[in-house]
Structure 1
Amino acid sequence: MTAKIAVVGAVPGTLVADLKRLGFTEYESRIYVQLLRESPATAYEISKTAGVPRPNTYHALEALSQRGAVLPVSETPVRYIAAQPKEFLDSLARRTSDLCASVGNQLANIAQPLDDQYVWTLTGESAVHEKIDSLIDSSQSIIMVKAADDVLRRHAETLRAAAARGVEFLIVLFGQNADEFRFAENSRVYIHEGNGVRMGTTDNLFTITSDRKEMVTAVMAEDVTAVHTRNQPIVNMAESLIRHDYYMAEIFDRLGPEIESNFGPYLRDLRLACFTPEQAASFKVKTGLT
């Protein structure tokens, strides 16, 4: 009995959790993993090695068989094998995608037309980055971005695909290498204020607009959160923020020494006059200025 418990404990908890997200129950997950390890096997053998009560084993095997995850290969007694993971999961993905498309169409026919002016809150790193990729994927004409290079790099492939579709880019970058994000001739990339230094507290913001119709602003700190909206005044405000940073980048490129002589390095005199104490302290640490 001790050996059997060891086998059950060897099933990674994250794997069981992921299988449950795909619709498996706890017992179905254990049984499928065990059959991948050792098959063919009878329900009695599976019950012992997977640590699943026998009545639940029969029920789980029936459900897995209907899904195509396990196959009976003999009679008297019935023995089962597990379907190959890649083939089974590819088939599951196709069925799920088709079902989602069908249900989506049916629900769209039921739903009332919606003028989506709401502001939606997103939490969690995965959800936020998925939303950013989705916004880029759906863009048809122009994307505007203000972001740090390490965050923008996570979306490089999605941006490159959009550039290949002919989407225009206007990017204001916290970083030093603008060429890294010039994916095509229609990609305009500007170093923030001509130096790309991250300062204050807004350097953790990722702001992106698409086709002048929707936007996402994300806080890329320890707890990643974001807002998404198609509310036109808010989208206009986000675009204005990015455009004015583009203006500043061009102005710094042409008049940098004169600006510094009047306002100090990194616009020190202007910034410290309106920063909060916390912002001022962050600015001084990051620039070494007082």
Structure 2
Amino acid sequence: MIDELVRVGFSSQEARVYVALLRQPSATGYELAKVAGLQRANVYQVLATLVERDIAEQVTDTPARFLAKPPAHVLGRIKQDTAQRCDSLIVDLAALARPAEPTAFWSLRGRESVLERAGALVSDARERVAICLWADDLDWLGTPLRAAARSGCQVVVNVFGDVPVDFGEVYRHEAPAKTVGGHLLTLAVDSTTALIASLDEPAAAVYTEHPALLRVVEKLIRDEAYLAAIYERLRPELEDAFGLHLVELRSKLLPAEQASALMSVVGFGADAATVEELNPFE
């Protein structure tokens, strides 16, 4: 009991004297000193403090005798005072606190970790899923994407490769063999979380709830959908202007190594002079 009283605001000596008073009502300081195991001079100092705090009262003068106030009275007041003090501190400290900065991102290493996190994000979606992925990725992500669509989520799918997709709003892009930059997957869920993954070995990803990074990922996925829709509608005119698979335009915006790879995969081959002509950044 002594330790518990100390935890609610008594000093060790105050707690011992209060417990002694409860055991021996109307005791003198001398009697309390023996019961509490304290020096008599210390007991009188403690009694003065207890009286001042309305924890005890002096009932006679000669000799001076004391009574403990009932525990319900003493501890009830301490409880009320503590609650009021805590309520006041909540208000005061809340006024001082600054909003926490959102964590920029979390890293994932290894294919299994990336697949597990991407699948979990899609499965937890409540309103909207937007994704760019390769056709092969539907082998492991198709089921949760389909379930999200059936639950009422808007599902926007940019798929690289020719594969049947029976859910969502589908935007088709060239086969992975016609792309450069590796096996990438981008995902945005409910406008709250985004994931960017490289599924080439060693597979790795980052996911984020940071508003600025989330908007970048959402815009990237949205622009891929725009491009696919425009290319499907205006393919002849666009290829007249920018070459097969828009190779001339794309090469100007790629590093030389990727520009060379792009022209190889679309059937042009590549040489240094062509790459240098198409890539003004080198």
TM-score scaled by structure 2?
0.57
Matched with 1:204 is 183
Provide the rounded CA distance (Å) in 2 between the counterparts of 1:263 and 1:134.
Answer: 40
In structure 1, what is the equivalent of residue 241 of structure 2?
262
Q: Identify if the C-alpha distance between structure 1 residues 131 and 197 changes in structure 2 by more than 3 Å, giving closer, same or farther.
A: closer
Please say if residues 181 and 258 of structure 2, whose CA atoms lie closer than 8 Å, have aligned partners that are also in contact. no
Offset, 1:214: 0.6
Conservation of the 8 A alpha-carbon contact between 1:119 and 1:229:
yes
Is structure 2 residue 176 aligned with structure 1 residue 175? no
- By how many angstroms is 1:160 displaced? 1.8
What's the secondary structure of 1:252's corresponding residue? Answer: helix
Q: 2:140 is matched with which residue? A: 154
Structure 1 position 115, deviation (Å): 5.7
* C-alpha separation in 1, matches of 2:229 and 2:147: 27
* Mapped partners of 2:117, 2:100: distance in 1: 20
Deviation beyond 6 Å, 4+ runs, structure 1: none
Cα pair 2:122 2:145 within 8 Å, conserved: yes
> Following TM superposition, by how much is the alpha carbon of 1:244 offset from its aligned partner in structure 2, in angstroms?
0.8
TM-score normalised by the chain length of structure 1 = 0.56
For residues 165 and 115 of structure 1, what CA distance do their matches in structure 2 show?
Answer: 33
Written as runs of structure 1 = structure 2, the 5 A alignment for 1:134-283 is 134-177=120-163, 180-183=164-167, 187-192=168-173, 195-283=174-262
Change in CA separation of 1:285 and 1:145 when aligned onto 2, cut-off 3 Å: same
Whole-angstrom distance in 2 between the partners of 1:239 and 1:198: 25
- State the Cα distance separating 1:131 from its structure 2 match: 0.2
Which protein has the larger Cα radius of gyration, Structure 1 or Structure 2? Answer: 2
Amino acid paired to 2:170: V
1:203 CA drift (Å): 4.5
- SS of residue in 1 equivalent to 2:250: helix
Query: Is 2:104–2:209's contact at 8 Å kept on the other side of the alignment?
Result: yes
**CA 114–158 in structure 1, closer or farther in 2 if over 3 Å, else same:** farther
Alignment of 1:57-72 (within 5 A): none
Q: Can you give the 5+ residue segments of structure 1 that lack an aligned partner in the other structure?
A: 1-112
**Equivalenced residues, count:** 171
Identity of aligned residues (%): 29
Question: Per the alignment, do residues 189 and 159 of structure 1 end up closer, same or farther by CA in structure 2, a change over 3 Å counting?
Answer: same
Of 96, 108, 132, the match for 2:118 = 132
